[in-house]
Each structure stands twice: as C-alpha cells, then as structure tokens.
Chains A and B, each alone.
Chain A
C-alpha cells in the first residue's frame, strides 16, 4: 500500500494541532457535518439510556433514575406482553413475506428490461414503473385505501371486484379485515418500489461482458442456460449487497406505510415493533418502555447486518465492509 508509510507516523498532540491550524479551512468545511451528526444522530443514541431508566420529564434523559432492566422485563412479561409479542411476530412475518415475494420482483423486472431491444418501449416501461417511487407514502397509501374501502354510497374499485366475485361481504371494508393486511402491504411495496429497485440490477446486467454470452452461444447454450450461467453469476455481487442491505433494514423499513395503512381493528396482523413503539412511547408517554423497544429494534437490526455481511463474506467474498 502506498499510504502505509504516511499512516505509520500518525501525528499526535501538538502535531495534530499544528496540522489543523495549517489546514484550518478544511476543518471548517467538515465542521457543519460533524455537528449535525453529533446533535441529530449520535446524541439521541445516548438517549437510549432511558431504556434502563424510569423516565421523568422533569429530570430529562440524563437526570432520570436508573431502574436496571425493569423496562425490558415489563415488556416481555408485563401488562403489554401480548401486544409486544404480537408486534414482534408480525415484524418477522411481514419482513419474511417481503423478502420472499417483494425481493425477487425487481430482479425479474431487470432481466425483462434487458430483453427489450426497442428503445421506446424500454424507456416508456421504465419511466412508468419508476414513477410510484417518487410519490409520497401518504399518496400511495391514500390511493390504495380509496381503492379497497367499502362505503354506503360507493366502494373502491378493488373492493367492488371482490364483492362481485363473492370474496367479500358487502358493507365490510377490506381495511377492517385482518387477513387482507399483509398481502395489501406487500403489494403496495411491490407497486411503489420494484421498478426503482430494478435500476441497480439492470445496471449490473448491462455491465456483463457480451463476449461471455457469445461464448455460451458458440457452445450451443439456450436462453435459460444463458440466464443461469452468465447473467446470474454476473449480477451476483449486486444481488448479495442488496440482500445484506435488505436484511439489515428488515425491522426498520416501512413503518410509515404500516402506520398509514393499519387501524386498531387489525393490530393482530398489522402491528409491528415500530408502530407499537410509537403508540406506547409517543402516544401514551411511556418513554422508558418505548425506548426499550427502540434499543431492542436497533440492536437486532444491527446484528442482522453484521450477521448477513459475515456470512456473505465467508461464502462469496462479497461484503459491504
């Protein structure tokens, strides 16, 4: 390595000060970023301490009294234990569905886009499928709720179709029935994000050398062998990175969407850790218990990223770090 020499004599003490004074302009440029992350990202991490405290607004995060792991014990076996375990289970089930049904769609889309040789058709279909990504969660869920509601005067078009097929009793709204929530949530996610998520796979496919395809053709391979032996290995690094990121975000993504789509009647299938955390923490003011859920959530998410990254580094030599 070229820089190893420089790094070996790391400056310390007075030397650091001297270097900073010499390049003070550079540190002035860095300062806003450091301050922003210190105040808005790292300082709240200290606030996680209230997970171990009895939060008293009068004394704040730092002044409140330590209570050990009371909040956690309360969570898993106290008054809210049914709700907590229900949210815990739902979080994993919804994430798993998302991984199984949602994750492959953008990959398939990218494979299909790569086949479209007509420029106009490709531009049009890409433009159309990326669009929902840029609309807000409120807009997308708003349209969705309108399409599936059942009312006195009229019903949304999807609800009407279900009623005509005899799958839904008239007057009953799909949004009030627990068994519709998960499919609805997954489909909304596919609608909103799969086009946009296909971009990165499409780029990976475009980056594969054409000579590999030609070589396979000379050997008499057909289209399906081509995908199996050239395209997939070619996009494998991208795929692995995306899986790691997806698993790492498993517990955190999409709570805004849940919040906008669910209601008190369907908590049994719809309530997830983040929405539970919002209700118990912010809405009911149980900050200590809420922060216990926060810490729990953040730690599992972090462990998932590290786990996925380690596994992928060992089996495929592709990793985030």
Chain B
C-alpha cells in the first residue's frame, strides 16, 4: 500500500465525490424520463415524480407501439443504418488501404485532399443545392450521399499502415495481388479497428437528423429521428386527440417515445464500450 500525504488524500476524496456526482447528473435526465414514462397521470401532474416512478402503468408505451408511423420510421432507420454503414465502410476500407500504400502515385496529394475536407466545407447552401441537383430525396440517395467521414478513413489508414511490411511481403512472394492483400491480409488483421469504425458510422447513421429532414420528400421514408422530433413538437395535440380518458399524462407519452427510440443504443452500448475508447486513441489525426 502506497502512503498518501495530506494533499493527496484530500484530492482523492474530492475526486471520488465529484466524479460520482457528475456521473449521476449525466444519468439523471434519462432515468427521470424513464420514470415519468411509466408513471400515472395524477402522480406526475402533482409533481410527485423526482426519481422513481409512481402508479406504474405501461399504457403510454402501448400507445407508442400501436402507432403505425413509429414502426415505419423505425424500419426506415434500420435500413439507413444497415445499408448506410455498409456503404460507408466499403468506401472507407478500400480507400484507406490504397491511401497508405507507398507506391500509390500522388499519395501525399490524395491524403491532403482528404484531410482538407475536415477543415474546409462547401457550407450548407452549396451542399443543399448539390443534393437537390443530384436527386438526393429518397432512401437510396440518403444512403449514398452521406456518411463517409475523413476522420474515420484516417483512423483506418493509420491502422493499416501499422501492419508490419514483412507480412505483406510474404504474401506477395506467395503470389497475392492487391485485392488478395486487401481482403485476405489487411482486413483479417484489423478486425478491432474495423469494428470501432463500423460502430462510429452506425451510431451516426442511427442518430442522423438534419439532412433527412431537409431532403426527404416522402413521409414514408423518414427516419426515426425526424419522426421523433415531429412527435416531440406535437405530442400535446396527439394526447388531446385521444378519444378515451388516459391514465398517464401527455408528458409520459413524450418520454415513452424518447425511451423507445434510444433502446437499441442502450442495448448495444455496453458491448461497444471497449471499442470506442480504443478508437478515439487509435493513432493521431495527422495528415
């Protein structure tokens, strides 16, 4: 046991207290949202819910789960997440592989053009006009036109370039071409990094909102986030229009909608933990 002097002891006690307070504050709004979503109307409207639920009822969830629009949006988001992540990964992996090859002509120039997009963007209006011009207003358009991020490509590129040359040279001696090197040497050796970047892409697809709202013209193609936002804006009206006398409050309905939309993220969150901390620290962001 190492001995601590007085200043170290004080610092330790303060650290534990502050860190636990901060963690509880970060979780509180989510726990509170969950509690209200399953609480009764009277208990909530008289201000009795502070942390734990009261007069537990699942009827708000019943209403959300019987909402057809909710399921359409959910299915759409699954589509955007799965297809979008696959598309982003295909482009990022092949590109990252090529960009780290020393024999690639104009390698420095290509890499510069990639990094440049992190610092200079065309801006909202030119992007919008470009999307409109090229017909990005439907499901496939959203998949294809979005989701390739320079930062993620740099992460993959840096990881690929850390793979020892000897392994590649041995494969070349055995007659492997570039496609085989990429598919049979580099990919199998980078599973952890690939998992990390896949998760980054998947989360950003799942959470995407702004451009879907701006571009998609058909309400049946909207992702969950756009639908969720519309419900949050209109839940009072939706609640008032309900024909029967409800045992939960309007706010419970709104919170139930929010909770339903984050369940998938909460379920996979413990599993992705070990990957993302690694991802953040994986290689510097140098050009």
Contacts and interface: CB of A to CB of B under 8 A. Distances in A.
29 contacts: A26-B101, A26-B103, A29-B95, A29-B179, A34-B95, A37-B148, A109-B19, A128-B23, A130-B276, A136-B261, A137-B209, A139-B258, A142-B229, A143-B255, A157-B32, A157-B50, A200-B281, A223-B11, A241-B284, A241-B285, A252-B121, A277-B123, A278-B124, A290-B124, A293-B123, A302-B119, A302-B120, A305-B119, A320-B287
Interface string A1-20: 00100000001000010011
Interface of A: 3, 11, 16, 19-20, 23, 25-27, 29-30, 32-34, 36-37, 39-48, 50, 60-61, 109, 111-113, 115-116, 118, 121, 124-125, 127-132, 134-139, 142-147, 151, 153-154, 156-157, 160, 191, 195-196, 199-200, 203, 222-224, 241, 245, 248, 252, 256, 259-260, 274, 277-278, 281-282, 287, 290-291, 293-295, 297-298, 301-302, 305, 320-321
Contacts of A295: 123
Contacts of B121: 41, 252, 298, 301
A40 B90 CA distance: 16
Nearest to A35: B91
Interface stretch (B63-71, B109-117, B165-173, B190-198): B109-117
B219 interface: no
B94 interface: yes
A131 B27 contact: yes
Given A50-B126, A116-B19, A130-B276, 19 more contacts: A27-B98, A41-B121, A44-B123, A47-B130, A109-B22, A125-B22, A134-B272, A135-B30, A135-B262, A139-B207, A146-B232, A146-B258, A151-B236, A222-B8, A293-B125, A297-B123, A298-B123, A302-B120, A320-B286
A50 B129 contact: yes
B33 A153 contact: no
Contacts of B25: 191
Nearest to A125: B23
B92 A294 contact: no
Contacts of B242: none
Nearest to B129: A47
B55 interface: no
B33 A34 contact: no
A295 B255 CA distance: 40
A275 B184 CA distance: 47
Given A33-B153, A36-B91, A143-B29, A298 B122 contact: yes
Interface in B51-86: none
A271 to B, nearest CB: 14
Contacts of A39: 134
Nearest to A113: B19
A34 B110 CA distance: 8
Contacts of A153: 45, 249-250
